[in-house]
Structure 1
Amino acid sequence: MRIVTRSVARAAASSMVVAAALALLGLQATAQTASAATAKAPSVVTCTTANTKLTVTEVSRPVNHLLLKATNTGSKPCYAYIAPFLRAGADAQAPVAWAEETTPQSVVTLKPGRSAYAGITTSTPEGEGGAKEKTLGVFFADRKGNAAGKEKTLKLPKGGVFFNSAATVTYWQDNARDALSW
């Protein structure tokens, strides 16, 4: 019986040594794979007018709305933080208000070639004053909510669009439907 017990004990000990060695190798391989993935992962930058293409289009529904589209033209992914700063017309004294109720659950990340969207309400019957504006100035926001990069001025569709005091813009969304659904 002793011989069998010793053999079983030695086999069990050998199995434990082999298992520990394999576990150690697996842990090292996982660490190497993780560090290799980290080394190859591109860094993410802030979206600005320098690394995106901006377009603004009029939409049929909802009425009095525009759609702002930002497409990453850079070689690295970029974060479209918060919402765009918009200046409706060359003489605008204040940016268009952000629609706080449209805050997404996370920052929109744009891989190269991908787009983010912001819906713009240009006017409502409750708004005051207003004028037909021909241009839309756009700044991106940085992580802290400050303007990032240079302003891009876009021509508005149909030679101009009416804006009044009720104008708002959504936070950046990862699809056009969400940007226009509020």
Structure 2
Amino acid sequence: MRSNRIRTTVLAATALLAALSLTACSDNASGDSSKAGAAAPAGSTTDQQSPAATTQDTGKGSKDTDSATSKTPAGNTAANSKVSTSGTGGQKSNTSATGNSSSSPVTCTGDNTKVTVSKVSRPINHLLLTATNTASRPCYAYHAPALRFDDAQAAFPVLRDSKPQAVVTLQPGESAYASIGLFGESDGKDLNKSEHLTVYFTGRNDSGSTGSPAELTLPADTYWGNNGFVTYWQSDMADALTY
């Protein structure tokens, strides 16, 4: 009987241990399942952040697109403005050209210049003519001035060797110069005394005079001879006085 009780106790203990073992396994299984279930939402949450990142990327793309769109009209406007400015510049240039056309040079005469005559120390026996443009437009001082002392019958000789390479052009306020060699060595004592000098301007074809002459009073005790000369108009005073 005692032996049966011990066996019965052992079996009961074994059964209890088996039951506890099964309960523990069940609890462990439930715990693992719960843990697995808790991990899954975390993974889902992480997955749900991807669209947010995509949305940000899309936003940036949208912003870039908007920015590019807003910049493009500005660039076009600047380009259009630049083209318009260039067009205005072209019109301004045409207007300027028209202005230049209306101010094209004319022939220098006594009407648009102030002429003076003065005595110089070097070279000796020389006078200097100065013609200054007093008008508002340029003028050409063609060839040489034609001179007449008092009531002389003939014009004073012109020194052909003094011809410049180009016609002298006077802008408003600028001057041209011509020197007068009063007489030559061969004139000797056959000299003429004069008090007045008439200066005529020649035209482009060097045939006769053009415009109004200039009437000048000569320096005191001015004598001239038939072998004297007048130079062509020069743009530089020194050039005129080299003859």
Which category of TM-score, normalised to the shorter sequence, fits these structures?
0.7 to 0.9
TM-score by length of structure 1 reads 0.78
Is 1:151 matched up with 2:213? yes
Q: Give the distance between the partners of 1:177 and 1:29, measured in 2 at CA.
A: 46
Q: Structure 2 CA distance, aligned partners of 1:171 and 1:31?
A: 41
Aligned to 2:224: 163
Residue identity in the other structure for 2:205: K
2:122 equivalent to 1:58:
no
Q: CA deviation at 1:130?
A: 2.1
Q: Provide the TM-score with structure 2 as the length reference.
A: 0.59
**What is the DSSP-based 3-state SS (H/G/I as helix, E as strand, rest coil) of the residue aligned with 1:63?**
coil
Residue 31 (structure 1) shift:
7.3
Task: Structure 2: state its 5+ residue gaps.
Answer: 1-82
Task: Check if 1:47 corresponds to 2:93.
Answer: no
**Aligned residues: percent identity?**
44
Structure 2 CA distance, aligned partners of 1:39 and 1:132? 51
Secondary structure (helix, strand or coil) at the match of 2:153 reads: coil
Q: Residue 141 of structure 1 aligns to which amino acid in structure 2?
A: T
User: What do residues 53-86 of structure 1 show as CA deviations (whole Å, max 9, x unaligned)?
Assistant: 0000000000110000000001110000001010
The aligned residue for residue 107 of structure 1 is 167
Partner of 2:176: 116
Separation in structure 2 between the aligned mates of residue 126 and residue 84 of structure 1, nearest angstrom: 23
Are the counterparts in 2 of residues 117 and 174 from structure 1 also a CA contact under 8 Å?
A: yes
* Structure 2 counterpart of 1:66, one-letter code: L
Which runs of at least 4 in structure 1 moved beyond 6 Å after TM superposition?
A: 28-31
Aligned partner of 2:192 in structure 1 is 131
- The aligned residue for residue 62 of structure 2 is none
Q: What is the CA RMSD across the aligned residues, in angstroms?
A: 2.0
Q: Which has the larger radius of gyration?
A: 2
Task: Choose between structure 1 and 2: higher strand proportion.
Answer: 1
Output one character per residue of 1:65-116: Cα deviation in whole Å (capped at 9) or x when no partner: 000000000111000000101002x221111111100000111000011000
Q: Aligned partners of 2:97 and 2:158: how far apart in 1? A: 35
SS of match in other structure, 2:186? coil
Stretches of structure 1 that go unaligned for 5 or more consecutive residues are 1-24
Shift of 1:29: 9.2
